[in-house]
Amino acid sequence: MRETKCATGITVERRHPAVFRTGWKMLQSVVLMILVLTLPVQASEGTMGYEGGISVTDRMVKDTYRYREVVFVTGKPVVLDGTVVIKKSMKVGLETATYTYNLANVQQQATLTRVLLFDTAVDTKNNGQLTRSTTLARIPTEVLKIGSVTYTLSSATFTRSDLTDPKPSIGYHAGEFSGKKVYRVGTGADVPSVTVLSSGKVYAYDQYWSNTQTQKVKLQVSYAKKGEVKWGGTAEVNVSASSRQNMQYRENEPSQISFDGGYIRTTWDESVLSYSATFPEFDKGGIATDYMVTVSNRLELTTEPVNERLMVPDIRHLKGHWAEKAIHILYGLEVVPGSGEDFNPEKFLTRAEFVAQAVNVFKAVPPDPNVRATTTAKTTASKTGDTLPFVDLKEGDTYLAEIVDASDRQIVVGRGMAYFRPDEYITRAEVMTIAIRALGLGNLAAWPYAVSPFADNDKIPAFARNAVSVCAEIGVLEADADGRFRPNDFMTAGDAAELLYRLINYMGDDLVTDYREHTTQY
Amino acid sequence: MKKQMKHAVSLLLAIILTLTAPSWRIQAAITPELPVMTFTGTEKATAVLANLDYSDVRASTSFAKEAIWETGALELMKGYASDTGTTKRFGLNDTLSVEQALAVAYIAAGREAEAQAAAETLDKARAADARLYPTPKMWSDGYIQLALNDGLLTQNQFADALQTDQLALTGENFLRKSSVTREDFAYYLGGVLKLALQYPQTRVFNSYSDWLQADPYRVPAIEAMLQNRIMHGDTSGRFRPKGFLTRAEAAQMLQNAEPVIFPLLGLTKNKGRVEGVDLQDDWTAGVQTKVRTVRIRNSDGTLHALILREPVSAVMPDRNELTGTAVNRPRNTVVALDGKPAAGGVLAAGQQIVYVSDTNQEVPYVQVQTGTPKTIYLGRVEAVDPATRAMTFLPYREIPFADIRLLDPKSIRNMTIGTKTIRHIVSAGAKIFTGEVQQMLDAIEPETHAIVVVEGGMITSFEMVDLDLLAEDGVVAGIVAENNASLGYVTLYRADGSGVSSGLDDGFSGLRTYSYADPISVRRDQRLAVPEEVIPGDSVFLKLDDENQVLDMSAAHDYTPVFGTVLKAGPATVMLRLPDGKTVQYPVPAGIPVLRDGRTAARSEMAVGDNIRLLAQINGDSVQVAEVRLEKMPNPVTAVYRGKYVWYDPLREEVVVSGQQQFIGGRWEPTENIGSVSIPLDESFAGTLPETGSGIAFIAVRKDAGGMERLVGFVLREGDRYDQVFDDTVASASVDGTRIALEGTSATLVNDSGTLVVRDGKLVAPTALSPSEHAMLSAGRDSATGQLRTDVIVSDTVNRAGELSVYRGRIAAVTTNTAFTLESFARLDGTNWSFFNTPKTFTTRLETTRLLTGGGVGNLREFTEEAWKGKSVYILSDGSLSYTISDATYGESVLKGRLKSLDGSIQDEFGMTVTEPTGLTVTEGRRYSPLTYQWVSETVSPVTVPGDAILIRKGLQANLSELVPGETVILLQSQAAGEAKVVIVK
């Protein structure tokens, strides 16, 4: 039982009947278990480390990733493959992380072991953004053996800073890091040293449908020995790791089967490393010449895809409809509740119905799987009925939980004066506003107010104009045959299904392409 | 005599007074302070006052009395004679008729004169006996005409209104004498006052319980009235859109609309306190006039003076127009005191007054305030405690009125901000506005600017304000819709992003256009620029002078990246295929920078099939491209295969073929895979594949990041056919891409939509092929048409065979790291050495010249004259710039063949070379015999290629590992079974 204040300023006590409470709690834990077991394992920011390597999760072992990296200390790129174990723990404002690497390349007779300890100070700003700044907690250990030569780390510095901008359904990250490592080549006094300077930029986003992290790292390698020739080379390494999913249709072959085909959701992780290294050519005596050789290549790591059959709705009455695929998938993903026979694509959606669907598309950002919080985490299940953010909602309303969830996460703000108007029809402009608010992409619009590319731009209400422009820009919205958007028409169920499907594709595919290819290939 | 003296004295006094009247000093003041502003009463005040003596208002207790006096004094609403004709009445509780509503609206907007002119025009147009002049009825027609002009009435309504026989009209018609409904009044008033209509997302109106009853076409106007606080709902939460208005309510609405109406009428509202009233006598022209000077301390601290003149004699003196003597006209004002209108004589020291002044510095109306004194502050919220309802507020200054629109922006801008905060409790009934909608106390955030009204020690009203009054005047910002630098004007969209279409349905605001004359200072993206560089879509700030001409322009771009594949690259345009399949054409003029990997590239490097990124600003139809970036590391099509189609597995997304052969060097060669092979699809492949099928599948693949080949192109042809291959040069290709002719054969080849065309490693359409390109084709006869239909075309345009040449000679002199000279040299032309008995100098450069010596790589720094003079070397050079210098021994035995395999290379599991290949094996070998001048075929055993051999592939120097089996190679060996000295792959 909790005392909370409603929007009108009145304090209210809410209580469920006892039976309902225990039953609800059981249901919550069951649902949570199911979600954990079926959710694809997520890769979030930092799982590739900051050495310019790539990783994918190893489903068998907790906190362990299959890892691949290219080292340049010899003057030639050498690929090393193995595992990295990442353990993180979080106290208030401070995150400590340990990265343990074990890598090898058999044909080149190379092995690498490395242990790094990071201390990250996490600061939450007033506007919800988080800044992180990382340093090494102590001098790391690293030993690299290639052939007969051993490189031992003698000193290292590292700093990283990044900013996380949490939006209702996506967390965006951007940051940079730089480091310096000095290796001693061999043992003894007066041995040569190799210095590796790295500076990198990190871009990442985390959300339910996909996540991608991209690093663009510039490395400078220089070798020095007293009295001998010094050489230097550079390498540019672009790495990116994604967890992705896609949905494909399979038709059934027997004609006498109760459903003629369904969608299969495939989830997998993939990481790509592409590098371009320019180093001096070494002569037959192993001495560096002035001739620079550029080598480029690409490497990849993927996990085996996991397939999951989605629920098959009964939408025979929609065969041939232009939104049939979108509707089928939304039912399969249980974004739209129900089994499909009663879906009328030309029906107008009420605000409550749309929000209920939107909440299933704009799911909350999954938490970092590597972090084990030392303080007990708050239960994530929301207890319905404790806080009603709008005065025209009451217990027992359909979709009450979804509306409350959407309001808590600031995806919806109502129609003013603390009214939500759940039974009124939602307009197209309002739909775009909710979508862009959940994606947090309002800043893509031009200042002061964007001008959308539709012929009826002027009819778009001012509060929605930026959102409509951004939706057109990211490609989820198109003009109709007249070039119009029709912002004040009510949204039909079919249009909403098509839009939500495109948004799922945007979050699952287009974002990956944008973070992976568009940042590194141009 | 005495009388004359008296006259003289009075004349003198009058002269003195009149001459010094504008600057006369206030007597009896301790320090003579000059009033900053001087107002006079109006001439009409006496008449207006007489008309304001409404019998019905006098006795009533209506809340609107104040409004009635004010609107009467300002002549916005007038009363009429009562039935008996002797007294005047206002008609407090009479409902307002439609024509009266229109009249009120237009008078309030200051368009009375316009209406009268319209009325006269209308009347003149009538037949002589139908004219209404000069009855009041005629004048009200003028307002109806204006309403038609402004679009507030339709033609039908106008026709109904002007019908002479109004009684014949029924309820269906427009009845001008019927009572106007609240929603209609909102519509007329809003339209005339040009209040921005909010489409249709209402924020305030739909909180009223009866909002659905309103006519939807009136809703935007009602919303505007509510947001401007001109109209309100009743206490039970209803707006009553279909209810009627009384004249008293209309008067009150006009008073509520002061902030909107006053600027239109040129009126200013002032607040102050009467410090004192001085009486003087003025004896000009022998008529006694009482001059009453009211000293007012304005709320901004300055002294104002109001001069009223009341002639003592009731009758104004006649004037001799021939002599033109000065006339004494009374100048008085209407004062509302204790709910009654009175003349200016009732003003006394100590009264708190509000006075309205016009542009002629006349004051038609003064209202004496009663009740608890209110203090109004403009300032900033420091903290709010919802529990105790206490607010800490930092007042910037005290202001006279609680409406920000009534304040003078200049005075706000120049105020000094204090540091002393005040703390008051917010009363439970306080009206709190943080936007258009009334809120609760917890909606107030610290650091917001607001106007608070403090009454009796408590805050009774809170309104958040947007202090761009504190901002610079004359700066506008917006997005550029059009900028015409030659004609000198820039047009912006409206601030809220609208303004794409200007039409009748747009209300009354248009696009904002500002003109400028050269030169103005322009900055774009923080750099100095010229006006032409500001393009549609830019966000811009314009600094304007007093005449709204642009002085200064500061703009920022709004580029978005556009990704696509080049379909056609012209000199001024580029046609792209976007990732979603759409095709667009953008203007890319010659000067636009083209970059690859951060370095400038030639425009010609952008070829069909390339993936590019454009930075473009797209605003409606106008597209401005700022930059083109070519893909850094494009992954090319690496091989073309064919095989018997087995199946396509949609679950694994793999195609399985058997008997795989690769199209290499213009021939189909078996690959190392025996039996069936699966080839996975590439992500970018968008075609559909049949799950089962028979025939020969032609597949183009590219290597992904993991080194695995993935399908990017596919065509299935019927099986059991005889494929013809061609290795030739394109003679002509038809424009639509359906036919292609080769130089070396007379057969005409037909392309269709399935033909796989790989050009320089990119999958393109057949239209990309052009004459003189080297192409290798595989075609089969189509059983239906009998024509030779191409299946695969592999073409490469890169033909730099002529660039690099191989020389050999004895070194005469060396300047280390700069150049060296051969005493005489031989050059390899094709397969023969041509000898030249002249010296030749080559330049060397540390970063680009390789020295190969002793079977491996050497160090160019050791290339000195002492060490190398007299040695014979091979040189691979481009003109005189040397790329490789090798001391390998002379080889003149030429072997041609097809590369079968590279030997001796060790690779790790990731495909990286650990050890470079040491040799190669050649098939179909033919050796040139200088004795018989013929090519003799030879079975060749593996040939060693040492580290100091010179390798050229496709006109560039290469490493042995770059050679691809199937290519044609030419080797120069010292003798038949020796090491290769030079390896050339065309």
- Determine which of B859, B876, B883 to mutate to test the interface with A (most A C-beta atoms within 10 Å): B859
Q: Which CATH architecture has domain B560-630?
A: Beta Barrel (2.40)
Q: Are strands B739-742 and B748-750 parallel, antiparallel or unpaired?
A: antiparallel
- The answer to whether residues A117 and A86 belong to one domain is yes
The predicted pLDDT at position A6 comes to 46
B498 closest CA partner among B510, B485, B484: B510
Residue A10 has pLDDT above 50, yes or no: no
H or E element at residue B638: strand B637-649
Tell which A residues from 145 to 204 touch B, by Cβ distance under 8 Å.
Answer: none
Q: Does A276 touch chain B (CB under 8 A)?
A: yes
In the predicted model, what is the mean pLDDT of chain A? 85
What number is the average pLDDT over the span B870-890? Answer: 89
Residue A246 has pLDDT above 70, yes or no: yes
Could you tell me the pLDDT band of residue B197, with boundaries at 50, 70 and 90? low
Adjacent-strand bridge partners of B318: none
**CB nearest A9 (choices: B442, B506, B908):** B442
- The answer to whether residues A302 and A356 belong to one domain is no
Asked which of A266, A284, A306 is the last residue of a domain, the reply is A306
* Rounded Cα gap, residues A408 and A400, in angstroms: 12
- The answer to whether residues A300 and A419 belong to one domain is no
Tell which A residues from 101 to 140 touch B, by Cβ distance under 8 Å.
Answer: 105-108
Asked which of A287, A306, A325 is the last residue of a domain, the reply is A306
- The answer to whether residues A320 and A230 belong to one domain is no
For chains A and B, CB pairs below 8 A equal: 180
The predicted pLDDT at position A30 comes to 43
- How does pLDDT run across B737-786, given as a tens digit for each residue? 888 888 888 888 888 888 999 988 888 888 888 888 888 999 988 777 87
CB distance A448–B846 less than 8 Å?
no
* Rounded Cα gap, residues A321 and A327, in angstroms: 10
CB distance A299–B705 less than 8 Å?
yes
Q: Which of these ranges, A183-197, A440-454, B665-679, B687-701, has the smallest mean pLDDT?
A: A440-454
Residues B431, B436, B437, B442: is their CA dihedral positive or negative? negative
With contact defined as beta carbons under 8 Å apart, do B769 and B753 qualify?
no
CB distance A297–B912 less than 8 Å?
yes
Residue A487 lies in a domain: yes
Q: Helix, strand, or coil here: B410?
A: helix
- The answer to whether residues A367 and A291 belong to one domain is no
- The answer to whether residues A335 and A473 belong to one domain is yes
- Determine which of B611, B632, B635, B652 to mutate to test the interface with A (most A C-beta atoms within 10 Å): B632
Helices then strands, each counted (H, E), chain A: 9, 18
The predicted pLDDT at position B798 comes to 67
Give the contacts of A4 (CB within 8 A, at least 6 positions apart): A11, A12, A14, A386, A387
Concatenated DSSP letters of B526-551? TEEE-GGG--TT-EEEEEE-TTSBEE
With contact defined as beta carbons under 8 Å apart, do B777 and B726 qualify?
yes
Residue B171 has pLDDT above 80, yes or no: no
Residue A28 lies in a domain: no
Residue A29 lies in a domain: no
The predicted pLDDT at position B597 comes to 82
> By residue range, what is the domain housing residue A130?
54-306
- CATH H-level, domain B374-470: superfamily: Copper binding periplasmic protein CusF (2.40.50.320)
Residue A498 has pLDDT above 70, yes or no: yes
What number is the average pLDDT over the span A91-106? Answer: 92
The predicted pLDDT at position B90 comes to 84
Query: What topology is assigned to B637-715 in CATH?
Result: OB fold (Dihydrolipoamide Acetyltransferase, E2P) (2.40.50)
What does the block give as tokens for B875? Answer: 């040189």
Residue A409 lies in a domain: yes
In chain B, residues with a C-beta closer than 8 Å to the C-beta of A456 are 501
Residue A201 lies in a domain: yes
- How does pLDDT run across B202-253, given as a tens digit for each residue? 667 777 888 888 887 788 788 888 888 888 887 777 888 899 988 888 998 9
Work out how many domains chain A is built from and give that number. Answer: 2
End-to-end CA distance of chain A: 56
Instruction: Search chain B and give the residue with CA nearest A449.
Output: B497
Distance in Å, alpha carbon of A409 to nearest chain B alpha carbon: 18
Q: Does A490 touch chain B (CB under 8 A)?
A: no
Concatenated DSSP letters of B48-83? HHHHT-BHHHHH---TTHHHHHHHHHTTSS--EE-T
Instruction: Give the burial string for B932-943 (b: 16+ CB within 10 Å, else e).
Output: eeeeeebebeeb
- The answer to whether residues A216 and A244 belong to one domain is yes
Could you tell me the pLDDT band of residue A372, with boundaries at 50, 70 and 90? low
- The answer to whether residues A408 and A511 belong to one domain is yes
* Rounded Cα gap, residues B226 and B137, in angstroms: 32
Residue A331 lies in a domain: yes
Q: Which CATH architecture has domain B805-886?
A: Beta Barrel (2.40)
The predicted pLDDT at position A150 comes to 94
Residues making up chain B, counted from first to last: 986
In chain B, residues with a C-beta closer than 8 Å to the C-beta of A446 are 479, 537, 539, 558
**φ, ψ dihedrals at B852, nearest 5°:** -110, 125
Predicted-complex ipTM score: 0.78
- The answer to whether residues A507 and A367 belong to one domain is yes
Residue B444 has pLDDT above 50, yes or no: yes
Instruction: Search chain A and give the residue with CA nearest B707.
Output: A299
The predicted pLDDT at position A37 comes to 36
CB distance A283–B858 less than 8 Å?
yes
**φ, ψ dihedrals at B400, nearest 5°:** -75, -35
In the predicted model, what is the mean pLDDT of chain B? 83
Residue B879 has pLDDT above 60, yes or no: yes
- How does pLDDT run across B387-406, given as a tens digit for each residue? 888 999 888 878 878 877 77
What number is the average pLDDT over the span B437-463? Answer: 85
To the nearest 10°, report the CA torsion of B141, B144, B146, B152: 180
* Rounded Cα gap, residues B763 and B712, in angstroms: 8
Residue B121 has pLDDT above 80, yes or no: yes
With contact defined as beta carbons under 8 Å apart, do A165 and A171 qualify?
yes
Distance in Å, alpha carbon of B874 to nearest chain A alpha carbon: 18
Instruction: Give the burial string for B356-388 (b: 16+ CB within 10 Å, else e).
Output: bbbeeebbbbbbbeeeeebebbbbbbeebeeee
- How does pLDDT run across B322-355, given as a tens digit for each residue? 666 655 567 888 888 887 888 888 888 888 899 9
Residue A18 lies in a domain: no
What number is the average pLDDT over the span B473-502? Answer: 80
Own/partner contacts of A463-466, CB < 8 Å, gap of 24 or more, are A463/A433, A463/B201, A464/A429, A464/A430, A464/A432, A464/A433, A465/B496, A465/B497, A465/B498, A466/A436, A466/A442, A466/B497
Give the CATH class of B475-556.
Answer: mainly beta
Residue B41 has pLDDT above 50, yes or no: yes
- The answer to whether residues A332 and A276 belong to one domain is no
Residue B418 has pLDDT above 80, yes or no: no
Largest CA distance in chain B: 158
- How does pLDDT run across B591-614, given as a tens digit for each residue? 899 998 878 888 888 888 889 999
- How does pLDDT run across B943-952, given as a tens digit for each residue? 888 888 888 8
**φ, ψ dihedrals at B196, nearest 5°:** -60, 130
Could you tell me the pLDDT band of residue A377, with boundaries at 50, 70 and 90? very low
Residue B731 has pLDDT above 50, yes or no: yes
- How does pLDDT run across B696-730, given as a tens digit for each residue? 999 999 988 878 899 999 999 987 677 889 988 88
With contact defined as beta carbons under 8 Å apart, do A336 and A359 qualify?
no
B767 closest CA partner among B795, B802, B806: B795
Helices then strands, each counted (H, E), chain B: 14, 61
Residue B30 has pLDDT above 70, yes or no: no
Strongest mean pLDDT among A167-171, B260-264, B279-283, B315-319 = A167-171
CB distance B859–A289 less than 8 Å?
yes
Give the contacts of B339 (CB within 8 A, at least 6 positions apart): B65, B66
- The answer to whether residues A152 and A234 belong to one domain is yes
- The answer to whether residues A322 and A419 belong to one domain is yes
Asked which of A276, A306, A336 is the last residue of a domain, the reply is A306
Distance in Å, alpha carbon of A455 to nearest chain B alpha carbon: 7
Q: Which of these ranges, A138-147, A273-282, B567-576, B826-835, has the smallest mean pLDDT?
A: B826-835
